[in-house]
Amino acid sequence: MHIKIIGKGRPILLIHGWGMSGKIWDEFSKLMRNKNKLYVIDLPGMGKSELINPYKIDDLINKIHELIPEKITIIGWSLGGQIAMKYHLKYPKSVNCLVCISSTPCFIKKPGWEFGVSKIFFSRFKKELLNNWQKTLGKFFLLQIKEDEEKNNILKKLENSFMGEQPPKKEGLEKALEILEEIDIRNDIKNINIPTLIISGKKDAISNYKASMWMHSKIKGSQIFIFDSAGHIPFVNYQRKCFELIEKFLGTG
């Protein structure tokens, strides 16, 4: 699994979301690298990382565990936030702090859980992915930024970064989507007992900001910040503010 290491200081792992790669953090990491040693990962089948076999959440977490320092802070976005929480639950003594951006304990809507996407929507998305993954990935990018004033510029940037020189592997997209569908840590989230910062956007069309509020209510001592105008990628649209929030949370602001 490919990890790019940049900067010096406190070790921080950055985990991207579905369909992307560590490149999503390129601009953000320029702000963070002065005081932190960043481990920027490409999930299997995305970016420069080959697929792993088997490709299940526990296998993924074990692979990450082999490649990073024993004590680390994790910043996870979207699916990356779910992986970050699962990582801490499996290796509770290995994580100093968590930052979950636009994430959720359960992506799929279920009885008693209204803050996910419908099973019908998700099933249709999976089917479209199998038929034409490039078109489906493009739709996914647009969904993340549909409320943004700069959506055309951001969409072009996303397509160039993640469908250009180094596109994801179709099987990697499928396997990561299965993980996204399977993860449900609602019953385990009370066991997260380290400093946790939750960042979300009210206009997020993928991860409902109310899921972030629910997480905040269950993770003792957690902090939360919700952008009124942000969608799914606040660390891109509101880069400086996200950086300041994280730096303050980590005690270096």
Rounded CA separation 228/174 (Å)? 32
User: What stretches of 105-146 show up as alpha helix (H) in DSSP?
Assistant: 119-131, 133-145
**Which residue numbers in the chain have pLDDT < 50?**
253
pLDDT at site 253:
41
User: Structure tokens of 83?
Assistant: 């992986």
Catalytic-role residue among 21, 29, 49, 78: 78
Tens digit of pLDDT for each residue in 218-231? Answer: 999 999 999 998 88
Q: pTM (2 decimals)?
A: 0.90
Q: Has 204 been annotated as catalytic?
A: yes
Residue reference for tokens 């990582």: 87
Q: Give the orientation angle of helix 133-145 with respect to helix 119-131, to 10 degrees.
A: 140
Q: Has 200 been annotated as catalytic?
A: no
Rounded CA separation 176/170 (Å)? 10
Contact 37, 10 (CB under 8 A): yes
pLDDT at site 52:
93
How many helices and strands (H and E) does the chain possess? 10, 7
Q: Please state, as a whole number, how many other Cβ atoms lie within 10 Å of the Cβ of residue 242.
A: 23
Catalytic-role residue among 21, 42, 204, 212: 204
Rounded CA separation 229/96 (Å)? 30
- As beta bridge partners, residue 108 has 117
Q: Has 207 been annotated as catalytic?
A: no
pLDDT at site 242:
95
Rounded CA separation 41/21 (Å)? 7
User: Structure tokens of 23?
Assistant: 């490149």
Tens digit of pLDDT for each residue in 129-146? Answer: 777 767 776 667 666 655
Rounded CA separation 51/42 (Å)? 11
